[in-house]
A = this chain, B = another copy of it.
């Protein structure tokens, strides 16, 4: 790509559209015609084609039928609508599964799946790789130079694992490459425990509930292999389409960390990061949903430190929820613009037209079964499209964050497999979210990286529950603090290395004990209904009184750190539970127990003030309101968002121009329920 910041160089605009499956409607041409007319009405400028089209493009082995797609694509382009073109590997044809059973996935219990569902193919199968290369090559040959096509959408929500003999063998090869010797592997996995040591590579099997199920090193390596194999498959897909036209960028639509897939590993293989965003809106307080979406948006942007694409979201309900709630008035636009606020260059939907049948026929779509535009959902979508047109200057602006949080999916896998100190809810993701929330509520932009990421350029790094140190994180944390940064880390950090082997000596391990100036003696676990407390000493952060602590309490000893708070009860009453340590040019805080959110809110508020980490708007935000900021060639953009269904007031510290209304906002402003204001600093 010439300009790394231009996500879609052939069509450098904020995208609005979504998944479009015309192959379901080929026998009703009047529907296809009406689609074009309604897309224009809805301000759609781009659709995703081909996600589940394999059987429609290749109805029998080696027999291809592109005519219908030619026609659809030409008609779209004639009507000014661009195309994100998917490779169809997310849903293989049934004839292929029948002809080549080896392409079907094998479950952990070693039974081979039948055909059906999505993501039910083996990433290792040579047959599936060959068939994938063939279809991708033909698709590229036919469409990679079509003027409508602006982006490749590689497969669909890549995820999952396969335990077939081919994958097992590939896993053993991957392990040989990683460990070289069985001695190294046996040590790394601590296999003498329960007498499991391997004496031949062939003895190694993927984890299984009725076989090896608690060899932690095996478990985490297996998860790594599954990501590696999916990535390898993805790279082969990309190579096939790039071989034809290297100018069309590629993306995958990530889906949280579905199936445990570590999407961070894909970031360098793709040109553009995109994801599918499905909070359970209206299921609870929407502030909670907003924070969930916000941190994923931040994570997507942080992968490449560039804008990303929102590839899917729902116009109203998501049918797979336990209870499918409608989005209330205003919420659809707010949720759409939230993505843009955090760095998205698109608002895309699953899907354009509601499916008549199948598992997602009650997932909402822009066009409902009734087929008309005279409904709330269509109007909401149209409104978003209109708004995107008015804020085009936002395109490709970026976010500049001084705060970085670390969230690591390999760490998450390891924590969910610890066997103690709590087997019901260690709460890693929940705790991470609690830390993130303290910044979101202040309207402070954050990057989110995993342990492979860089910590350069930040003022503050927040690293909760980094149980497993991997990716050189200890070195990076040490260098960050030594170089003047402020680190906040917590209990249950630096306990094991990258194969889940406990550190000997002081922990947090790998020298971080010295950086934080404490070491851990024991960790106690609390039942959900139990609590302890953190009783504050005099401190510069303005914290006073006491806060509740739940779930986990470490008994720690200070070495060089200063205790800022101590436990209020239990047999370790009086032991420090919040410490601060000066280390070279920086300092490090250690939170020894799972402190309640109120603590984190006050702690980070004090810390940001004290250390000069600025809010996006220097004003106090009412509950439920956040302000996110993008900075681009044309200026600074402020996204003021109200995630509560009630009015909120806000005092602006300086005048802002409302991009949609064209008006100037000053002083105290009022936000309607679910309101979003997109402004530029004039």
Given contacts A208-B114, A507-B369, A571-B326, contact A419 B360 (CB under 8 A): yes
Bound CA–CA A615/B93 (angstroms): 59
Kindly list chain B residues whose C-beta atoms are within 8 Å of the C-beta of A189: 357
**This chain: copies in complex:** 3
Bound CA–CA A423/B360 (angstroms): 12
Q: Distance in Å from the Cβ of A261 to the closest Cβ of chain B?
A: 19
Bound CA–CA A521/B424 (angstroms): 43
Kindly list chain B residues whose C-beta atoms are within 8 Å of the C-beta of A197: 55-56, 59, 93-94
The listed residue (B118, B194, B356, B522) touching A376 by CB distance below 8 A is B522
Kindly list chain B residues whose C-beta atoms are within 8 Å of the C-beta of A423: 320-324
Kindly list chain B residues whose C-beta atoms are within 8 Å of the C-beta of A211: 113-117
Decide yes or no whether A354 CB sits under 8 A from chain B: yes
Interface centre among A23, A216, A503, A524 (most CB of B within 10 A): A524
Mark interface residues in A507-536 (1 if CB within 8 Å of B CB, else 0).
Answer: 100000000000101101111000000000
Decide yes or no whether A612 CB sits under 8 A from chain B: no
Kindly list chain B residues whose C-beta atoms are within 8 Å of the C-beta of A504: 356, 369-371
Given contacts A194-B117, A211-B115, A326-B571, contact A359 B419 (CB under 8 A): yes
Task: Give the contacts of A139-194 with B (CB-CB under 8 A).
Answer: 187, 189-194
Question: Contact between A111 and B114 (Cβ–Cβ < 8 Å)?
Answer: no
The listed residue (B91, B321, B506) touching A195 by CB distance below 8 A is B91
Bound CA–CA A200/B93 (angstroms): 11
Question: Contact between B196 and A521 (Cβ–Cβ < 8 Å)?
Answer: no
Q: Distance in Å from the Cβ of A317 to the closest Cβ of chain B?
A: 7
Look across to chain B and name the residue whose beta carbon is closest to the beta carbon of A206.
Answer: B114
Q: Distance in Å from the Cβ of A467 to the closest Cβ of chain B?
A: 11
Bound CA–CA A61/B564 (angstroms): 59
Bound CA–CA A202/B217 (angstroms): 43
Question: Contact between A501 and B371 (Cβ–Cβ < 8 Å)?
Answer: no
Decide yes or no whether A215 CB sits under 8 A from chain B: yes
Question: Contact between A502 and B194 (Cβ–Cβ < 8 Å)?
Answer: no
Bound CA–CA A668/B210 (angstroms): 58
Mark interface residues in A190-227 (1 if CB within 8 Å of B CB, else 0).
Answer: 11111111111011010010111111110000000000
Decide yes or no whether A328 CB sits under 8 A from chain B: yes
Decide yes or no whether A470 CB sits under 8 A from chain B: no
Look across to chain B and name the residue whose beta carbon is closest to the beta carbon of A377.
Answer: B522
Decide yes or no whether A325 CB sits under 8 A from chain B: yes
Q: Distance in Å from the Cβ of A36 to the closest Cβ of chain B?
A: 18
Question: Contact between A114 and B317 (Cβ–Cβ < 8 Å)?
Answer: no
Bound CA–CA A363/B504 (angstroms): 15
Look across to chain B and name the residue whose beta carbon is closest to the beta carbon of A369.
Answer: B502
Mark interface residues in A479-521 (1 if CB within 8 Å of B CB, else 0).
Answer: 0000000000000000000011111111100000000000101
Task: Give the contacts of A357-406 with B (CB-CB under 8 A).
Answer: 357-363, 368-371, 375-377
Question: Contact between B195 and A53 (Cβ–Cβ < 8 Å)?
Answer: yes
Question: Contact between A202 and B326 (Cβ–Cβ < 8 Å)?
Answer: no
Look across to chain B and name the residue whose beta carbon is closest to the beta carbon of A217.
Answer: B357
Decide yes or no whether A616 CB sits under 8 A from chain B: no
Look across to chain B and name the residue whose beta carbon is closest to the beta carbon of A520.
Answer: B370
Question: Contact between B214 and A117 (Cβ–Cβ < 8 Å)?
Answer: yes
Look across to chain B and name the residue whose beta carbon is closest to the beta carbon of A570.
Answer: B328
Bound CA–CA A236/B113 (angstroms): 35
Bound CA–CA A24/B94 (angstroms): 50
Look across to chain B and name the residue whose beta carbon is closest to the beta carbon of A423.
Answer: B322
Question: Contact between B370 and A192 (Cβ–Cβ < 8 Å)?
Answer: no
Decide yes or no whether A599 CB sits under 8 A from chain B: no
Mark interface residues in A321-360 (1 if CB within 8 Å of B CB, else 0).
Answer: 1111110110000000000000000000000001111111
The listed residue (B109, B115, B524) touching A205 by CB distance below 8 A is B115
Decide yes or no whether A422 CB sits under 8 A from chain B: yes
Decide yes or no whether A472 CB sits under 8 A from chain B: no
Question: Contact between A192 and B54 (Cβ–Cβ < 8 Å)?
Answer: no
Given contacts A192-B52, A323-B526, contact A98 B361 (CB under 8 A): no
Task: Give the contacts of A81-132 with B (CB-CB under 8 A).
Answer: 88, 90-95, 97-98, 107, 109-111, 113-118
Interface centre among A210, A357, A421 (most CB of B within 10 A): A357
Question: Contact between B361 and A419 (Cβ–Cβ < 8 Å)?
Answer: yes
Question: Contact between A369 and B503 (Cβ–Cβ < 8 Å)?
Answer: yes
Could you list 27 A-B pairs, sorted by A, with CB under 8 Å?
A52-B193, A91-B195, A94-B197, A94-B203, A110-B114, A111-B210, A114-B205, A115-B196, A116-B205, A116-B213, A189-B357, A190-B356, A190-B357, A190-B361, A194-B359, A320-B423, A325-B525, A357-B501, A357-B502, A360-B419, A368-B521, A370-B506, A370-B507, A371-B504, A371-B505, A375-B522, A376-B522
Closest 6 A/B residue pairs (Cβ): A114-B211, A190-B357, A319-B420, A193-B358, A362-B420, A91-B195
Taking Cβ atoms with an 8 Å cutoff, the residues of A that contact B are: 21, 23-24, 27, 52-56, 59-60, 88, 90-95, 97-98, 107, 109-111, 113-118, 187, 189-200, 202-203, 205, 208, 210-217, 283, 316-317, 319-326, 328-329, 354-363, 368-371, 375-377, 418-424, 499-507, 519, 521-522, 524-527, 571
